[in-house]
Structure 1
Amino acid sequence: MTPHVLVVEDEDSLATLLQYNLQKEGYDVALAGDGEEALLLVDERLPDLIVLDWMLPKVSGIEVCRRLRQRNETRNVPIIMLTARGEETDRVRGLDTGADDYVVKPFSMTELTARIRAVLRRIRPGLAEDRVRRGDLLIDRVAHRVKRAGQEIHLGPTEFRLLDYLMQHPGRVFSREQLLDAVWGSDVYVEARTVDVHIGRLRKALGVSDADDPIRTVRSAGYSLDLEG
């Protein structure tokens, strides 16, 4: 799965530069020009990491970070603060609010991309590894294979991407709309009920019974993979 990065930066030229370089590194990038827009975009599609400017119109970066850390669904999303503030007290305040790292302007793109990789490896290792195990499930992205309890499972490409995404976020509940954006893409129109069909196919392929079904259906909310590593 391509990591989805939200860049929140009100300086257009810098936002464009960040988008270009991060896309070149293989990330799927969305842009927000102010804190209010950032919060709306997070609700539409949960990012794998947020690059967040401190000084923003409407809602400040530090307030965006504070609000995201208060919500269960965004509490663990990695956040790198991006700011011209270099004083130690400001860095401490940013980290205390919940930021995972802090980059002071001016910075090199090499430094920023290295910090993004480091944060993803530390906090979301599933995005940095070719093989991910959750409970008795093993997914191998390079070989495009899935095993459960040592037995190979044959999945179609959509079911593979769906399982891969759920395995990256064990225990987190995703709505059908969030899964559509993450697995099918935000620019593709697919009925929300299509998710139910593919979840059914995935369950069938995994050979689950009610007692050992790793995919939990949350009424009026969506789906969750209830397996820990």
Structure 2
Amino acid sequence: MPKILVCVGDAQLFLLLRHLLANEGFDAQLVTRPCEVEASCRRNPAAAAMIDWTEGPFDRIALLAAVKSLAPSSAVILLSKHRNALDASTPTCDLLLDRPFVPGILFHFLRQLRYRHISADYDGDANDVLRFADLTLNLATVKVYKAGNEVSLTALQFRLLRRLMQRPSTVCQRDELIESCWPPHVEVEPRTVDIHIGHIRRALGGLGPELIRTVRGNGYALEMPYSNKALKPFNS
């Protein structure tokens, strides 16, 4: 799972950002000091660096220049409380979020960023395509099709569906789905899995028969349409 450096001093803000990033397939790594951003970029560049532009005194121009120099492929996301926090001398950032920001703006940016780092999000060949009934999941393009129609899913929903399609007809327990689809340090309740599976079902709904079966008290499995409905004998 690709990581994003998050340099903020507000613990509640970090928890919110970590949740949003995890939903789109990114692992949030907290750094509390701007100098740690530069050190991390030098050691192991991340997919992006998210920096609170209004947090404490530091050489902002030098930091952005260092990030762009040490990790040219890393995106830079700036959080600001004031629209005039940036001036003409500031190096260009990839995304500026004015707090409070609309999560949809961040989601749109992260989905574009995800395509550039998809190889870090799954194990296997980049050309792999998973199929089950009329459902197709393309690992290279991170797209899902149902009955030939493209289905819009978040990165987390994509990973959940991918896990189910990797083991069709086998029950995937909720704990297993949590372990394979969420970052290791994120606490996830089993009920959260149910909610996201419900979102997937609604996204697939209307495009054909239901394919995700609930195994009560256990987990979920894919099931061919009507395969669980045995024909009843005719009694004359």
TM-score (norm 1): 0.48
Q: Which protein shows a greater Rg? A: 2
Structure number with the higher helix fraction is: 1
